[in-house]
Structures are given as C-alpha cells and as structure tokens.
Structure 1
C-alpha cells in the first residue's frame, strides 16, 4: 500500500529509509516545540496551550504535505513570523492575540485562494530576487536580536540605544552555555544539536533556579485555552474597518510565508533531485495548498503562520524522497503533543541560544545577492537593516520594494512587466504617509 501510494521504488527508496529520514528531520526541527511557545507566550497566550497547538499544527501540516503533495517536506510554525506576531503585531501595534490569530487565518485563506486562482506565480515574479534573500537574512537578524535580548546579552541603553548586559547573571550564563553547546554540536554535525543544547541548558537553568520542573497535565485540555479563540471579525475591525492595519498584517504573514516556502522548496527539491529538467517543481500547487491549509489549522489551534522547514533537507540527506518522510515527521509531532505541557518548565535563557543560532543560519542567503549592482544591493541592504532595527518585517519589505522600484524607474531599467512591483511600491508609500499621520 505504501509503495503504491508514495511510489517508493520509483524514487529509489524504501519504507525503512523513509522512516529514518522522517526521524532525522523531526529531531532537527523539534526545537520549535520549545521555542515557539517561548515567543508567543509573551503575548499572554498560555505556554502549554501554544506548545500543544505547535505540535498539532506541525503534525497535521506535515501529514497533509506528505499525503497531498508526496514531498519530504515538514511543516511547523515559522521562525521570524512568530516574532513578528508577538513583538510587532501584538506588543507593538497593541492587537489582541486573538485578533492576530484571526489575521493569520485570513492570510492562510488568501494564500489558498491565490494558489487556486494561479495568482501566486504573478506575485512571485513581481518581487525582485535579491529581496527574497534580503528578507530571509533580515528575519534572521530579527530573531537573533530577540534571542540576544532574551538572554540578557544585549540590553537597552539610554546613551547608545543598546549595550552589553551583565554577563554574570544566571540568565546570561545559562544562555551563553547553551550557545556554546549548540554551536559545538552543530560544528560536529550532530543531528538535533539545537534540541540537545536546549535540554542541557534547561538542566543548568533548573540548577540555578531559573525555572522548576512542572508536572505534566493533559495537553489536550490545555489546548482549549487557545483553540478556536481566533477573532476574525476583530481583524476586519482593526482601527475602524478594513484599513491598512489589517491589510498590512495579513500581507506580511502571506508574503513571508509565500517566499519562505519558495526558498525552502527550491533548496530541498534540488537536494532531493525532485526538480523537473527545466528547474520547475512538480506538484507545486499541491505543496502550496497543503501549506495554506496548515496555516489555517494552526491559527484555529492557536499558533502563528505554519511554513515549510529548511530542516527538511536533513531528512533528504538521510535518504528521504517521498511524502512518507513528511508523514513520519507529522506522526512524531502528534506523539509529542502529550508531552507539550512540560515546555512550561523550560526557562527563556535555554531557548534564547536557539533563536540566535537559527538566525545566524538564515544569514547565508546573502551570498545570492549581487552586491556589485547598486540597484540590487541598496534595496537588499535597506531590507536587511530595517527589519531588525525597526522590529518589523513589514518595514523591511516596504523599504526594500519601494527603493528597488525607485532605482529601477530613475535608471530607466523598469520593464512593462514590472507594473505590480510599482503598485506595491505606491501602496507602501501610502503606508508610510498613513503611519506618519497616525
């Protein structure tokens, strides 16, 4: 049955290889069960509920990907988007987390409609390729900055805006220990390095009194604190009607999800040898349909946008070639659901190093930018630098797309097919004026 459904022999694999590949991918990305609740809980969402929602969204999302698209791609709530959800939308804009979940659901619905209508190809084609890389790296700097702040390594300073914190505090000591542990394990190519580092740092945190071991309770009961709490009606009423606030939030969730998936798909499918001879990705619509459905499921459960994980490449390296790998990952996440309440016992100092090093790994995309071309380099730099320094992915996108359009227009390099890029640039200019008056 598995052979017929997934076409194992045609891809040169077997059940045992696919199961081992799924286990490998799961171990390398299981840190999200700890890190995602640590970020989203700062909105006031219960830690155990978010942990359970994370497991549920990752489980169903990965299984959908395997069954619908037959790709070895695992899904889970995305890093960067969870930070945008927490620090920009909820804490920065003052949007209740229930309304923010409503925006996540709407972005997933929009993604689904755009995929079914074939509009996604037009959107992907309109955005300059250098900005793909710059957004990924900017999000990396964003979450690394948050990690350094949570670790107490970077603190606010009235004289210099930011400064070095007290590295002798228990929080900083545990965070630095975790940072060293994860870095060394990654250097030794140990699978699950991030998860192992978090667990060891947690033990050190317990020893220093940063947190206590909490008794496990039924995670399914805990899930009720966030499940179906999304407020879609409230999303439409942001700042009085269907205004720029809701459109901006949904656009960022949609945009980053779309391009995060495109980048992951290209990298993983190329590594697995699953691309067509012309470089296209077979069954792309099915992949995007699975992703958009997973985001809506995640929002209903109580977590931020669900995306394809680049850690899927570790499973491909282990031999995974079909959707059975993704199904195995999904089943493991669902099994983890029953241990989700234990996440409450993990101190922030133990998860901060994961944010820092995941952010560091995202910087590698900058090599794809032609830094010798000012029309590409300047918008890419503005995108890269404004995301972490303004604590907003939306601001980075706005600066990058607007500056790219202006440079192309004033240097006479604009093309007839760039009309959508110009429309986006005009909308972002309107956004800047709106924010200035607000």
Structure 2
C-alpha cells in the first residue's frame, strides 16, 4: 500500500531507502529544535512551548508535504523569518508576539488563496530569479550577523558602528568552539554536524556557567502557553488589542508572505534538480500541491506558536541519500513529532551555543548568489542592493524593497522580457506593457510609498 501510494517503483526507490533518507534529512535540520526557541524566546515566548510548537510545525508540515505533494521536501520554521519575527516585528516595532503570530497565520492563509487563485504565476513572472537568490543570501548574512552578535564576537562601537568583541569571553569561546566543531564535521560530511556542534558547545557553556539548568519532567502541556494564542484580529488592526490597520502591519504581512514565497521557490528548484524531478522544460510537477502544503504548514505552525514554516534546503541531504518521494518527508515529520519529548531541555541551550548554527547556516545560504549574472548591471545592481541592505538595516523588508525599486527603475529604462514567460490573461498587454510588468511597477510604487512613510515617521 505504501509503495503504491508514494509510487516508489515509478521513482526507482524503496521503503528502506526512503526511510534512511528521511532520517538523514531529520539529522541535518534537527538543529532548528534548539535554535528556533533560542530566537523566539527573546520575543518573550516560553522556550519549552516553542520547542513543542517547532516540532509540531515541522512534523505536521513535512507529513503534509509528503502526503499531498509526494515530494522528499521537509518543512520547519524558517531561519531568517524567525529572526525577523523577533528582532524587527516584536522588539523593533514593539508588537506583542501574539499579534506577530496572527500576522504569520494571515500570511499563510493569503499564500493558500494566492496559490488556489493562480496569482503565484504573476509574482514569479514579475520578479527576476536573481532577486530571489539575493534575498536568500541577504537573509543568510542577516542571521549570521545575529549569531555573531549573540556570541559577543561582533559588538557595537560608537566610532565604527561594529567592532570585534572580546574573544576570550565565555560566550565567544563557546561560540568559537561550536563553530570549529560544526565546520570540521561538515568537511567530513557528517550529517548531524550542526546538531552535534550545538551539543558540544552547550556542554562547554554549562562548564563555564553560562546557563543554570534545572531538569523538569516532560510536560506536553507546555504547548498551552502558545497554542492558539495568535491574535489574528490585532494583526489586522481590529479587536481590543488592535490599533488600526497601518502601513507597518501591511509591511509585516508582506514580508512574511513574499519571503516565504521566494524561499520556497529557491528550495524547490534546488531540491527538485538534485532529485531529478524537474521536467525537461524546466517546470516542477505538482507545484501547486507543494505550495498548498507549505501554506497549511505555516497556518498550523502559527496556531501552535511559531514563526513561518518553510521548505528546508537541508532536504537535499535526504535526496542525496536516495530520497525521491514523499515517504522521505513523512519519515522526517514523524521524527520531529517524536522529538517533542526533548522540550524540557530547551532552556539548557545557551544562546552562544546556537550562534555557530546561525553563522554557518548563513554561510550555506550564500550558494544561490552563483545564479545571478554579476556582469549585467541590470541584474547586479538590484541583487547587490537587496543583499547588502538586509543585514545593514537589520530588515528583510528594506532589502526586498530596495531590490524591487531598483529593478523596476532599470527595467523601465531598458525593458526586458520576463524571466518566466506567462500565457493567458497575465501575458496580455495594456498600452504595450504586460500585466506582469504592471504588477512589478505597482509593487515598486508601494515600496517607494513605504520609504516616504518611514521618512515621515
């Protein structure tokens, strides 16, 4: 029955191969169980509850991907978006984490509606692929910077803005040890390199007194601290906690939605190519099913109490181990659900121990930059502005806006065809301009209006 449902014979694989691939994927991305609570707890969310929510979002999301789309792609709360959730939305804008969760839920619902309505084609046609790559890399620099900051390796400086911290401090020593362990293990192709590095760094952190851990019994009820706490009305500016729908709230929804979309497109292309699932014409089979699974996972994750759930590039590790169908994702999801038992141990992981994971995951996110043609100014300028503005302004939204505006201006001066040809209504033109280009120009106008509004504030 399993073989028929997942079409194992058709994909030249077996239950054993898919199971081993699922375990491999889990080991490469299990670090998120420890890293995500470390980031979201800084927004005031209970760490133990976030561990359970992370495992639920990753477990259910991965199983949905396997069952609905039959792809070997695992999902979990996304790196970068969890940092945006904490540092920009909650700490930067001063919104309660419950409101931020409401925005995550709404973005997932909007993603689902857009997928069912076919609007995804318009977005893909309007925005160039190199911009997708620079967004992913910019987020990588963003989370690496956060990791360096959390470890005290990079500190604030009144004259130079940033400077090198005290590398002999306990936090820096813990982070540097973890960085060395993870780097060496990755060079040796150890699948669980990041997870092992976090554990080793945590052990040193305990010895240096960075954390006071008091073991507690396993309590699944810990999830109740975040379960169904998403304040959807407040995210829309309504209800007793709402302050009216503002540009700030619209921006939050925009970032959660579009970064999720871009992240998924990049991951899908990379993993699908590795698995040999891309059609000869470059299209990806069952793409809408993939997006449906992703959007449902984001809504479930927000309901449980975590930031946006996305497809993980670490799924490529499972594909390299032979995974070709959704059974790989289902096995990964089941392992995440079993990991809920480790929720009480979240508080035993110091921030300095998870910092190396942020730094090295950020490094791995640089790979998409190879997709951009850096010799073409029309591509290089928007891609670079996106890349550099995300970490330097501590905002994914700013980088995305700068990239869209600059690309739209350059395309207006020198028109060029869309990266992905669009047929039907979306391919029609008004006064010689396609609907896809009109969408891009409208998006750029909104981004300009946002900067004007921020300047007024």
TM-score by length of 1: 0.98
Question: Which residue does the alignment assign to 1:79?
Answer: 79
Tell me how many residue pairs correspond in the alignment: 438
Contact 2:151 2:351 in 1 (8 A): yes
Question: Which residue does the alignment assign to 2:335?
Answer: 332
Deviation at 1:77, TM superposition (A): 0.2
Per-residue displacement from partner, 1:99-146 (whole Å, max 9, x unpaired)? 000000000000000001011111111112221111011000000000
Query: Secondary structure of 1:176's match?
Result: helix
C-alpha distance in structure 2 between counterparts of 1:319 and 1:371, whole Å: 34
RMSD: 1.2
Any unmatched runs of 5+ in structure 1?
Answer: none
Structure 1 segments (4+ residues) deviating >6 Å: none
Query: Secondary structure of 1:71's match?
Result: coil
Question: Which residue does the alignment assign to 1:206?
Answer: 206
Question: Which residue does the alignment assign to 2:424?
Answer: none
C-alpha distance in structure 2 between counterparts of 1:180 and 1:423, whole Å: 47
The correspondence of residues 144-155 of structure 1 with structure 2, limited to 5 A, is: 144-155=144-155
Query: Secondary structure of 2:143's match?
Result: helix
C-alpha distance in structure 1 between counterparts of 2:156 and 2:197, whole Å: 27
Query: Secondary structure of 1:162's match?
Result: strand
Query: Secondary structure of 2:48's match?
Result: helix
The correspondence of residues 106-125 of structure 1 with structure 2, limited to 5 A, is: 106-125=106-125
Deviation at 1:220, TM superposition (A): 1.6
Deviation at 1:4, TM superposition (A): 1.3
C-alpha distance in structure 2 between counterparts of 1:9 and 1:53, whole Å: 35
Contact 1:76 1:306 in 2 (8 A): yes
Query: Secondary structure of 1:11's match?
Result: coil
Which of 344, 358, 380 is the aligned partner of 1:377?
Answer: 380
Deviation at 1:413, TM superposition (A): 4.7
Question: Which residue does the alignment assign to 1:436?
Answer: 455
Question: Which residue does the alignment assign to 1:95?
Answer: 95
Tell whether 2:371 aligns with 1:368: yes
Tell whether 2:443 aligns with 1:424: yes
Tell whether 2:157 aligns with 1:157: yes
TM-score by length of 2: 0.94
Deviation at 1:214, TM superposition (A): 3.2
Tell whether 2:320 aligns with 1:317: yes
Per-residue displacement from partner, 1:38-79 (whole Å, max 9, x unpaired)? 001100001111111000100000000111111111000000
The correspondence of residues 238-277 of structure 1 with structure 2, limited to 5 A, is: 240-277=243-280
Contact 1:216 1:339 in 2 (8 A): no
Question: Which residue does the alignment assign to 2:54?
Answer: 54
Any unmatched runs of 5+ in structure 2?
Answer: 418-431
Which of 407, 410, 415 is the aligned partner of 2:413?
Answer: 410
Contact 1:219 1:337 in 2 (8 A): no
Per-residue displacement from partner, 1:284-316 (whole Å, max 9, x unpaired)? 111100000000000000000000000001001
Contact 2:218 2:341 in 1 (8 A): yes
Per-residue displacement from partner, 1:339-397 (whole Å, max 9, x unpaired)? 11211101111100000000011012111111111111111111111100111000001
C-alpha distance in structure 1 between counterparts of 2:390 and 2:293, whole Å: 28
Contact 1:210 1:347 in 2 (8 A): yes
7-16 or 233-242, which deviates more: 233-242
Deviation at 1:412, TM superposition (A): 5.0
259-268 or 107-116, which deviates more: 259-268
Deviation at 1:159, TM superposition (A): 1.1
C-alpha distance in structure 2 between counterparts of 1:413 and 1:324, whole Å: 42
Contact 2:234 2:243 in 1 (8 A): no
C-alpha distance in structure 2 between counterparts of 1:200 and 1:263, whole Å: 32
Contact 2:171 2:210 in 1 (8 A): yes
Deviation at 1:269, TM superposition (A): 1.0
The correspondence of residues 224-235 of structure 1 with structure 2, limited to 5 A, is: 224-235=224-235
Contact 1:57 1:298 in 2 (8 A): yes
Per-residue displacement from partner, 1:270-295 (whole Å, max 9, x unpaired)? 11111222221111111100000000
Tell whether 2:358 aligns with 1:344: no
Query: Secondary structure of 2:37's match?
Result: helix
C-alpha distance in structure 2 between counterparts of 1:231 and 1:25, whole Å: 33
